[in-house]
Chains A and B, each alone.
Chain A
Amino acid sequence: MNVLLALAVAVLFGSGTFLMLKHDLIRVAAGVLMISNATTLFIMTVSLHRGRAPIYPLPEDQPISDPVVQSLALTAIVIGFGLTALLLVIIFRVYGLYGTLSGTAHPKQEESPEEIAALARHQRPLQRSPRRVDAP
């Protein structure tokens, strides 16, 4: 069982890494998701042992499974879920700005007129950050 789970963690982690190295941003997101699930599975695997559910009243003579691991895995799942949602939102915003999901696109050098107007509306002196310095 341990070997099987270890193999599953390895395959998930490996495929996640493979996907993360792709240019397509949706695949990158899928890679991140796979790696975070591989981690959750790893948490379950490292503390795997047989036993009854740890619910009171506890049985006297039987082994009881460790409840801490379950709570760790649950927390990790929730955090991973939230972060995946955030990552997808950022990818969506990037798609809106660049018009493509390919990670190789380069940013435009100048702000568009709408952005300049949006910045000016908030009384902010427009500045490039970082300022480009000229070569000597």
Chain B
Amino acid sequence: MILTPLLIAWVMAVILALLDGRRIWVGWLAIGAMAGVFLTTLRLTIRVIEHGSLEIVAGGWPLGLGITLRADALGTVFALVSSGVLLVALIYEVLAGVHERAMPALTLFLATGLTGLFFTGDAFNFYVFFEITMTASFVLTTYGQREREMRAALIFMVVNLLGSSLFLSAIASLYHLTGTLDMRALTAIAGSLEQNSVTFTSILIFVAFCIKLGLFPFHFWLPPVYRDSWPAVAAILSGAVANVGSYGLLRFGGMILERELQLNGGALIALGAASILYGAVQAVSVRTVGEALAYSAIGQAGYILLALGIGGPVGIGAAILFALINSINKTLLFLTTGLNGWLVGAAFAIGAFSVAGVPPSLGFFGKVALFQIGITAQNTLLLVIIFLGSALSFIYMFQIYQRAHWAVDHPEQPSRRPSRLLVLGVGILIIALGLWPEPLLLLSQRATDLVIGTP
């Protein structure tokens, strides 16, 4: 059951790699496969919510020896949202016309990496799937193959390879300290280790995932990459690949190195606040849509770190919920940057309202959760920062709206209708999830219970 989404993605990726992705039927075959991945992940999620986590040990080895695949609430919910994002981005690109043969196959390889990464129970296996994801996204960033995309891919690759090396070093030192790579065993042992020895490892892991997520001091690669890559690819990077960072911080910080996370809460809050303000101010000041959205992504990632720094059930819950909502918002916004026409403006406005946190959009619940952590921590400064970030996000979102969709004096050729209907569909989904948020709230609640450790 755990293997189904992973196998569909992997087998179909290998088959699609042999076919010419520019043909329309190959594109739809890839969409079918991706929909299969999404639906099987959905079935798995329902199963996990109803009956608890599932586990498979590869090769039938006794527990602790073989590599485990484990589907729990935290992993499945991230896998569900990420495969949904990949599905939407793939449909968008096929509707617009794929113009490079490897693109559908690469999306499915990315799905393989992400699904495996969210379902693995082994720290080194996590690294391997992490590299599969990153390799697929490096190649995907070159999509378009003009100067700007190649430049973006080069920056993205060099910086993220450095991040991967740091993460691999962290795993090696975790193995040295604990003698195991199984995440559950690591969680049990890491709390009793000597403090000083774990600090170095925690910092390495923290830096590695912050590079992936693009948080303030490690953000420098992010704006050129998101600005210069193709809209569908930017949506995949910000909606699906960035989830690796938030999931990694939750899995390694929230569960395995829980004590270190609590001890360094202050530093996390400071970095998160800096990230929120820096991202928002930069987004207000830049002139291009892609760049403003990229800086907005830096700011939004800051909220996740802020919530993690507060910790506790409320903080972790807000971090999970906000990470999921943020990836849906960012997908919609980046997809609209490649289109023209009036439906696109409407879809963008929905996304903008969701980022600013206006009801009845989905973003409202993320913002509610964030304000809750400020109130729980009884910290006025924190509330001011969250409010300031939201207010600034309102300003830059409508600056973009005004320049890109409202005050356009030279009417451009509107994009094809199916593409515009697709982004509008995602917008309606955001409203619908905002009106009926129970499923998402339940999922994030279960994931929070898992991270906190309450049965």
Question: Which residues of A does B touch, CB under 8 Å?
Answer: 20, 25, 28, 32, 35-36, 38-39, 42-43, 46-47, 68-69, 72, 75-76, 79, 82-83, 86-87, 90-91, 93-94, 97-98, 107-108, 111, 115, 118-119, 122-125, 127, 129-136
Partner of B289, one of A35, A47, A131: A131
Contact B97 A20 (CB under 8 A): no
- Which B residues touch A107, using CB under 8 A? 146-148, 151, 228
Q: Which residue of B lies closest to A35 (CB)?
A: B165
Contact B99 A119 (CB under 8 A): yes
Contact A94 B291 (CB under 8 A): no
A-B contact pairs, 8 of them (CB 8 A): A35-B161, A86-B157, A90-B153, A97-B147, A115-B146, A125-B413, A129-B144, A130-B231
Of the listed stretches B172-180, B239-247, B324-332, chain A binds: B172-180
Partner of A129, one of B337, B404, B407, B413: B337
Contact B288 A132 (CB under 8 A): yes
Q: How far is the CB of B122 from chain A (nearest CB, A)?
A: 11
- Which A residues touch B416, using CB under 8 A? 125
- Which B residues touch A38, using CB under 8 A? 165
Chain A CB within 10 Å — which of B172, B231, B288, B404 has the most? B172
Partner of A76, one of B98, B139, B168: B168
- Any A CB within 8 A of the CB of B190: no
Q: Which residue of B lies closest to A135 (CB)?
A: B287
A-B contacts counted at CB < 8 A amount to 129
Partner of B175, one of A36, A72, A97: A72
- Which B residues touch A79, using CB under 8 A? 128, 131
Question: How far is B371's CA from A76's CA once the two chains are assembled, in angstroms?
Answer: 43
Which applies to chain A's interface (DSSP): helix, strand, loop or mixed?
helix
- Any A CB within 8 A of the CB of B217: no
Question: How far is B164's CA from A36's CA once the two chains are assembled, in angstroms?
Answer: 9
Partner of A75, one of B124, B161, B169, B402: B124
Question: Which residues of B does A touch, CB under 8 Å?
Answer: 22, 96-99, 124, 128, 131, 135, 138-139, 142, 144-148, 150-151, 153-154, 157-158, 161-162, 165, 168-169, 171-173, 175-176, 181, 227-231, 234, 287-291, 293, 337-338, 340, 400, 402-404, 407, 413, 415-416
Question: How far is B23's CA from A123's CA once the two chains are assembled, in angstroms?
Answer: 12
Contact B151 A94 (CB under 8 A): yes
- Which A residues touch B175, using CB under 8 A? 46-47, 68-69, 72
Partner of B168, one of A28, A39, A108: A39
Contact A136 B231 (CB under 8 A): no
Contact B230 A129 (CB under 8 A): yes
Contact A39 B153 (CB under 8 A): no
- Would you list the 10 A-B pairs with minimal beta carbon distance, nearest first? A130-B290, A133-B403, A46-B176, A107-B147, A122-B99, A43-B172, A124-B97, A39-B165, A130-B289, A97-B147
Q: Which residue of B lies closest to A124 (CB)?
A: B97
Answer whether A133 and B287 are a contact pair too, CB < 8 Å, given A94-B150, A123-B97.
yes
- Which A residues touch B413, using CB under 8 A? 125
Q: How far is the CB of B344 from chain A (nearest CB, A)?
A: 11
Q: How far is the CB of A27 from chain B (nearest CB, A)?
A: 11
Contact A136 B162 (CB under 8 A): no
Contact A94 B154 (CB under 8 A): yes
Contact A129 B287 (CB under 8 A): no
Contact B157 A90 (CB under 8 A): yes
Answer whether A127 and B22 are a contact pair too, CB < 8 Å, given A72-B172, A133-B288.
no
Chain B CB within 10 Å — which of A90, A115, A122, A132 has the most? A90
Contact B138 A90 (CB under 8 A): yes
Partner of A20, one of B148, B158, B230: B158
Contact B142 A129 (CB under 8 A): no
Answer whether A124 and B124 are a contact pair too, CB < 8 Å, given A86-B139, A130-B290, A136-B407.
no
Q: How far is the CB of A78 from chain B (nearest CB, A)?
A: 10
Contact B153 A133 (CB under 8 A): no
Question: How far is B403's CA from A3's CA once the two chains are assembled, in angstroms?
Answer: 59
If A119-B99, A136-B407 are given as contacts, then 4 extra A-B residue pairs at C-beta distance below 8 Å, sorted by A number, are A42-B172, A83-B131, A83-B161, A111-B146
Contact B158 A32 (CB under 8 A): yes
- Which B residues touch A132, using CB under 8 A? 287-288
- Which B residues touch A135, using CB under 8 A? 287
- Which A residues touch B147, using CB under 8 A? 97-98, 107-108
Contact B172 A129 (CB under 8 A): no
Question: How far is B296's CA from A45's CA once the two chains are assembled, in angstroms?
Answer: 41
